[in-house]
Amino acid sequence: MRLPSLTRTKPEAPNVHAEPLWSLRPQSDREAGDAVVSNFMLHWFPAKISKAAMAWSYSFWLGTISAALFFLLILSGLPLLFLYVPSVERAYQSVKDIEFVITFGSWIRAVHRISAHLMVIVVVLHLVRVFLTGAYKNGVGRGQQREVNWVIGVVMFLTTLFLSFTGYLLPWDQLAFWAVTVGTNIASSIPAIGPGVRELLIGGRNIDQPTLIRFYVLHVVFLPGLLGVLFAYHMWRVRKDGGLARADAETVLESARATEVVPTKTYTLLGMARGTAPTVTARTMAAPNTTVNAVPDLTRRALIATLGTIAVVSIMSVFIASPLEEPANALITPNPAKAPWYFLWLQEIVTDTTIRIGSFTLNGAFVGGVILPGVLVGLLTFWPWLDRSSLRAAGVWLPRERRRQNIVFLLLILGVLLLTFVGMVLRGPYWNFYWPWEIWPEIPGRI
Amino acid sequence: MEKRTSSPYPRIDRLVLAIVGVTLVIGTGLFMWSDRAHDWRYFQAEFRQMVAEKFGDDKAAILPSGVQQIWAGELSRADRCVTCHQAVNYKGFEQAEHPYRTHPAEPLKLHPQEDFGCTSCHGGQGWAIDTAAAHGEVAHWEEPLLSRTLGEEYTLAGNKNALMQMNCNTCHRYDRETKGAEAINLAKRLINEKGCRACHVVNGFGGTIGPDLTNVGEKAPEQYDMSRLSGQRTAFAWHMAHFKDPRALSAGTVMPNFNLTTEQAQALSMLMLSWRRQEIPARFVSGTPRTDPRSAEELKAEEAMKTGPGGWFVQTGCFVCHSISALGVRSPAQIGPDLSNAVEDVQSRFGVTIDAFLANPTGTMSVVLSRQIILTPEQKQVAIGKLREAFAEYQRQRGAPATAISK
């Protein structure tokens, strides 16, 4: 196998890719483009990319970081697959062994756990970024379907949450057991079908071995597979849609100055024949000062984002130990019993909308656990079709035209964050409210 | 050949990439180091040196190194204590400091480590290989090492090492006497002397006024009402305080204050926590009784009390607090006065006849007769009749001192 050549010779024949690998230092645009064409992993990159779309301050590279975290989760999950035993008798023991005696075990588990939590955070941030920049809006290219990619993104976000939630149960400790109890109880408050949904989810009426094996298979096979497929489609769509919306915004700005738009680049032969392939205008793409070669400028940044993520997670994992509480016990409810942190805003709403009048209780689980998240996710999914702003408001941070919807969106996000904070930090035993400086009653021990 | 598009990025991006690379290397170094940094490496090196000094380098060279464990498969225990406590089976370090001390030989004869492991007797977290976690001095581990240190923390009145006896009683719960478990033996004697079974079921028999205590050790700390407990908030501390003064911890309880000494209260608390539901393979308990043994005399005495002339008082529950010695009924708790002479005693205590008192009781009896033992007017008449019988018998026995029943 040849190493990437640093000093390279000319291809032997025109249009033949002599290099099995790519050059780290392409001498010409042609050579830089060859790298993309001849390499499977780089195939989803265009040969050239607009500088604006590559800027750290536009996308914060949150999508790449999410992907890096997903990659890290698969990588750290593989050794755990060999070590973890998905049985109620042995799961807890096997996690103890991972923690205490497996070489690098506690670090691997911490990497897996921290990546999972970070992935939820980064995916949310990515979604927020796309919303605030109106990046789900189509630009000037033909055949663009960014709104479809937005819907795919929302599904990927929900898959990420469900992945994290199914992983939560696996250590089979009190934290796992009761977080999943609280989480699945919310599902059972859907009228009519709720109890059935819960039963399907946990494989019975109690959380036991059938729940563990369901969650395990969902966690290690089904959901990662689904996320992988969605991820591939998500990336393909980005390419089909002519890159980030930012690139379109550049074109729009350019075309304001000149009127003539010349389609010069297309991606599929059939698409070209039908006239449905996305095209990128010659002006922006050809202009030497607005674009750079994907190899090495884009790949280098992708490498920085990926390796940077790995480095940060690796160091965090040395210092942040993963919790493992008492073995799961259906007879003892820890006080307070909390859902996983990303569902705490829902748990908080459930409590706040539960109304007690005398002995009569109006359960808030339906409002807080079903209606509200249902409406929010529904709005989120279909927002691209409700957003009536012009294409000038796409790919730009906080455009004036989208100011009102961005403010409402940010207020909703703020509300969710606030409720999450209340649920995480300010709720003590019996879900009573405690200020951070107030001390919770001491949790008793045995001896 | 066309020229390459010039890019403004490499200058700064290469530097960032280099920094990321260095951070990655540092991170890798950190986690490799954190995986290696364990106390047991120090303890093993130290012990190796001790063996080398005492028995020579040859002996030291064959000492095992790395994480060690005793796998007691039948009890599902992987006890890695021997990673640091390497001297457990190494004769010659009987007087050394922990963790370099040889285990006393006597208990190991009947409880070989390869069967029992370490934690089934000593407590602690066998899975762990770091001191604090292994000794269970961490959050979310409910079985701490039952050590002298912990005993001192509770200021045990007797043997400071006694807490470990709780684990003896996991298998030896039906023993009347267990060699070496003095605190547990004391507690078991108290259970019989104080007549706890008058109100509580233990191992399948006893009264039902109080809760069944057979598996009281399984009760989770969260299930205790600790609101009136001061000091250590543990199940053990709760039991100690409760034995000392039941009413102070649980308002409205009818459990009497037995004026137990600290040592007795501590012993009983240990016994309570030792009564747990635990499946033990048969061969582990081959030498111990499998049910709570009652001697023939005990059974005979109980039967005689139930079927004798005072049987009514036993069935109704009066005997829990009161003896009726004239009729051969002996109360296990003896909290109330002997009812043999109730007919005249009630008159002198309350200034009313027995009939009037039972119809309209005052003081403790008003509570007992309205909540614990609820009698119909007919039953009250039976009671009065029986008490008169007892009094007649009492007077007859008094008249003939040679046959007086002594308590």
- Asked if the structure places residue A17 within a domain, the reply is no
pLDDT of residue B403: 46
SS3 A224: helix
pLDDT of residue B364: 79
Q: What is the CATH number of the domain that holds A198?
A: 1.20.810.10
* Residue whose structure tokens are 């588990």: A109
| A310: contact with B, CB 8 A cutoff | yes
pLDDT digits (tens, 9 = 90+) for B80-91: 999 999 999 899
Residues of chain B in contact with residue A100, where contact means CB-CB under 8 angstroms, are 80, 127-130, 133
CB contact under 8 A, A314 and B28: yes
Residues of chain B in contact with residue A292, where contact means CB-CB under 8 angstroms, are 5, 7-9
φ, ψ (nearest 5 deg) of residue A359: -90, -5
| A320: contact with B, CB 8 A cutoff | no
Residues 6+ apart with CB under 8 A from B243: B258, B260, B264, B265, B268, B269
pLDDT of residue B406: 44
Spatial separation of the C-alpha atoms in residues A32 and A29, rounded to whole Å:
5
pLDDT of residue A445: 82
CB contact under 8 A, B143 and A446: yes
Among B4, B123, B223, the residue with its CB nearest the CB of A29 is B4
Antiparallel, parallel or unpaired: β A291-293 and A360-362: unpaired
pTM: 0.85
Indicate the domain borders of chain B: 39-141, 162-285, 296-403
The number of C-beta contacts closer than 8 angstroms across A and B is 153
* Residue whose structure tokens are 């399907």: A200
**How close is the nearest chain A Cα to the Cα of B369, in Å?**
33
**How close is the nearest chain B Cα to the Cα of A185, in Å?**
22
pLDDT of residue A57: 92
Spatial separation of the C-alpha atoms in residues B205 and A237, rounded to whole Å:
74
Q: Please state the ipTM of this predicted complex.
A: 0.84
Q: Nearest residue on chain B to A332, judged by CA atoms?
A: B220
Topology of domain B162-285 in CATH is Cytochrome Bc1 Complex; Chain D, domain 2 (1.10.760)
Provide mean pLDDT across the span B73-78: 89
Spatial separation of the C-alpha atoms in residues A316 and A239, rounded to whole Å:
34
- Asked if the structure places residue A234 within a domain, the reply is yes
Neighbour-count burial for B241-254, b at 16+ CB within 10 Å, e otherwise: bbbbebeebeeeeb
Q: Nearest residue on chain A to B145, judged by CA atoms?
A: A447
Spatial separation of the C-alpha atoms in residues B407 and A350, rounded to whole Å:
64
**How close is the nearest chain B Cα to the Cα of A104, in Å?**
6
More confident residue, B300 or A251: B300
**How close is the nearest chain A Cα to the Cα of B219, in Å?**
9
| Cis upstream peptide for A336 (omega within 30°) | yes
Domain of A224?
A: 57-243+278-285+295-326+367-397
CB contact under 8 A, A293 and B220: no
CB contact under 8 A, A323 and B146: no
- Asked if the structure places residue A124 within a domain, the reply is yes
Among A107, A304, A332, the residue with its CB nearest the CB of B13 is A304
Q: Which residues pair with B316 in a beta bridge?
A: none
| A14: contact with B, CB 8 A cutoff | no
φ, ψ (nearest 5 deg) of residue A38: -90, 0
Q: Tell which of B1, B3, B4 to mutate to test the A interface (max A CBs under 10 Å).
A: B4
Among A10, A104, A323, the residue with its CB nearest the CB of B35 is A104
Residues of chain A in contact with residue B141, where contact means CB-CB under 8 angstroms, are 326
**What integer best gives the mean pLDDT of chain B?**
88
CB contact under 8 A, A291 and B5: yes
> Which ranges of A287-361 would DSSP assign to H, the alpha helix?
299-319, 344-352
Across chain A, how many H-helices and E-strands are there? 19, 6
Residues of chain A in contact with residue B231, where contact means CB-CB under 8 angstroms, are none
Whether residue B405 has pLDDT greater than 50: no
CB contact under 8 A, A444 and B222: yes
Q: Tell which of B6, B25, B80, B222 to mutate to test the A interface (max A CBs under 10 Å).
A: B222
pLDDT digits (tens, 9 = 90+) for A192-206: 888 899 999 999 999
Residues of chain B in contact with residue A443, where contact means CB-CB under 8 angstroms, are 221-222, 233
Spatial separation of the C-alpha atoms in residues B244 and B232, rounded to whole Å:
15
* Residue whose structure tokens are 């039948």: B74
pLDDT digits (tens, 9 = 90+) for B203-215: 888 777 789 999 9
pLDDT of residue A28: 79
CB contact under 8 A, B222 and A332: yes
**How close is the nearest chain A Cα to the Cα of B271, in Å?**
13
CB contact under 8 A, B235 and A445: yes
Q: Are B113 and B106 in contact (CB under 8 A)?
A: no
pLDDT of residue B308: 85
CB contact under 8 A, A28 and B2: yes
Q: Are A338 and A432 in contact (CB under 8 A)?
A: no
For residue A359, the 8-state DSSP code is T
Spatial separation of the C-alpha atoms in residues A40 and A46, rounded to whole Å:
12
Residues of chain B in contact with residue A68, where contact means CB-CB under 8 angstroms, are none
| A400: contact with B, CB 8 A cutoff | no
Q: Which of residues 265-304 of A touch B (CB under 8 A)?
A: 288, 291-293, 296-297, 300-301, 303-304
Q: Which phi-psi region, left, alpha or beta, contains residue A270 (left: φ > 0; alpha: ψ -120 to 50)?
A: alpha
- Asked if the structure places residue A62 within a domain, the reply is yes
**How close is the nearest chain B Cα to the Cα of A73, in Å?**
17
Count of structural domains within chain A: 1
Spatial separation of the C-alpha atoms in residues A222 and A210, rounded to whole Å:
16
CB contact under 8 A, A314 and B30: yes
pLDDT along chain A (447 residues), means of 10: 49 57 73 75 80 91 97 97 96 96 96 98 97 91 90 97 95 93 83 88 93 96 97 92 85 58 51 50 56 87 96 97 92 85 88 74 75 92 93 88 94 95 90 88 80
Q: Nearest residue on chain B to A174, judged by CA atoms?
A: B140
**How close is the nearest chain A Cα to the Cα of B227, in Å?**
10
| A318: contact with B, CB 8 A cutoff | yes
* Residue whose structure tokens are 């009390």: B305
Q: Nearest residue on chain A to B166, judged by CA atoms?
A: A447
pLDDT of residue A251: 74
Whether residue B404 has pLDDT greater than 50: no
Cα–Cα distances in angstroms (integers) from residue B43 to residues B39, B50, B133, in the given order:
6, 10, 16
Residues 6+ apart with CB under 8 A from B59: B51, B52
- Asked if the structure places residue A431 within a domain, the reply is no
pLDDT of residue B112: 92
Q: Nearest residue on chain B to A326, judged by CA atoms?
A: B140
**How close is the nearest chain A Cα to the Cα of B119, in Å?**
15
